[in-house]
Amino acid sequence: MLRHIPLKELHQSKPMKWLETVYHFSFANYYNSNNLRFGNLCVLNDDLISGHFGFNTHPHKDMEIVSYMVSGALTHKDSLGNEGVIRRGEVQYMSAGHGIQHSEINHGDDTLRLLQIWILPDAEDLEPDYGEHKFLWDERKNKLLHLVSSKKGDAPVKLNQDVNLYATELDKGRKLNFPISENRQCYIVQIEGASKINGIQTKERDAIEAVEENLIIEAVDKSHLLFIEMAKG
């Protein structure tokens, strides 16, 4: 089963003068009882943050949070004493566990873009944790780059949930297969460019829901995609 979700059907908002966002699921001032989550994926925000602005210190609890940078640089600070900066194609993750506070700021002059991804953990009241990984851009050129897995998986970033995140950048005309096995599902974001996914045309910032169906992705233009694969449910 495939469901194409074009950008025009996603909720677009400007909740603050420095923030423009696309909400893939209910969040903040957007609530839709028919669009609460996809399996254990409960938040996916495609954010544009103006230079010298960002999210000041605020709390989180019982959530696995992944930030995937599309452009610019994001600075993180948290109550555990961690501090770091991620840039295009890099990943920052935070297991909020029983409680953590953090800030995320764009200290640059230009607007940055990132995908903020929240995944329900497999248990509550875990120990908070933070990390980041500086993936090289070429690691995803015309192939799948495994960004995130469960603690039992083999990706560099490991979360407290049965979930896998992959990224790719395909040159125009290149194809890639992405199998989705029985009792599994995947949420795909067309981050940049355009593709055909099992014949369905996707454009920048569109999404696809796929359940138990093998995918053939063909790049219509240079195509940057993110795959969030998980148990069906």
Tens of each residue's pLDDT in the chain, 233 residues: 999 999 999 999 999 999 999 999 999 989 999 999 999 999 999 999 999 999 999 999 999 999 999 999 999 999 999 999 999 999 999 999 999 999 999 999 999 999 999 999 999 999 999 999 999 999 999 999 999 999 999 999 999 999 999 999 999 999 999 999 999 999 999 999 999 999 999 999 999 999 999 999 999 999 999 999 999 98
**What is the pLDDT, as a whole number, of residue 25?**
98
The C-alpha atoms of residue 172 and residue 176 are separated, in whole angstroms, by 12
**What is the pLDDT, as a whole number, of residue 233?**
86
Strand partners, 202: 195
The C-alpha atoms of residue 166 and residue 228 are separated, in whole angstroms, by 7
**What is the pLDDT, as a whole number, of residue 51?**
98
Contacts of 100 (CB under 8 A, 6+ apart): 59, 60, 61, 78, 79, 80, 94, 128, 130
Using alpha carbons only, what angle is made at residue 90 by residues 221 and 64, rounded to the nearest 5 degrees? 110
**What is the pLDDT, as a whole number, of residue 227?**
98
Q: What share of the chain is helix, strand, coil (3-state, %, to 5)?
A: 5, 60, 40
How long is the chain? 233
**Half-sphere CA count of 103, side-chain side, radius 13 A:** 12
- Counting runs of H as helices and runs of E as strands, what totals does the chain give? 0, 22
Predicted TM-score (pTM) of the model is: 0.97
φ and ψ at 149, to 5 degrees?
A: -140, 180
